[in-house]
Amino acid sequence: MSGGAVLVLGARSDIGLAIAHAFAAEGHAIQLAARNPGTLEPARTDLALRHGVEVTLHRFDALDPAGHETFLDSLPALPEIAVCTVGFMGDQAESETDMAAARLVMRSNFEGPAGILGLIANRFEARGSGTIVGISSVAGDRGRATNYVYGSAKAGFSAWLSGLRNRLAGTGIHVLTVKPGFVATAMTEGMDLPARLTAEPDAVGRAVLRAVRARRNVIYVKPVWWLVMAVIRAIPEAIFKKMRI
């Protein structure tokens, strides 16, 4: 599966780098974008040497919408695939009392990703080809007391991706929503995660590659999450509001 360049937004994340490796192994040039791209130099070297592809670094701040068009104009080429792994979990307790902290979580998980992908979608549509991949979360499937600020932002992002997919149907643009569930990354380090529900970053990368190939619409990286969230969504509200999950 060789082809055009793959842009990874939020490339300093473990998931972002795993996705970059999955596509580089198939011969794609890689564009790594992050707020501090200089920290990605070791990753750039590793990707280029291991897979024999061109890898470029780019400065990108999801929370600076005024700079998004300039960022896209600065890329060596409009990518064929754009993957947004930008996200920030934050702390639920802090977000409940500090509205600035809550806004940062919501902007990082919804406003920023939706804003840049919307611009990319317009450019893809004008060209007539392209794939957009948004990393959302199972947390967006239902608001839960333990993470509803993060979950609500991911719910908005999932709905936005669904609407974009509907809008672009028939244009040749593929829009994929990815719900990884628990992933063993730096962000979840120290958490007691159930093994059956937890994926490794490499597994996420392979799942995204397969889903792009198959032009899937929505995937749960570990299929068991579909069942888990179906059960949670089915709990009546009168009962659900008494639970703390």
Round to whole Å and give the CA distance between 123 and 176: 17
Round to whole Å and give the CA distance between 124 and 81: 9
Reading across the β-sheet that carries 173-179, which strands appear in turn? 55-59, 30-34, 6-9, 81-84, 130-135, 173-179, 218-220
**Residue 148 a catalytic site member:** no
* Catalytic choice (23, 60, 124, 150): 150
Instruction: Indicate the helix (H) or strand (E) that contains 177.
Output: strand 173-179
Report yes or no: 33 and 55 within 8 Å, Cβ to Cβ: no
Could you give the residue numbers annotated as active site?
150
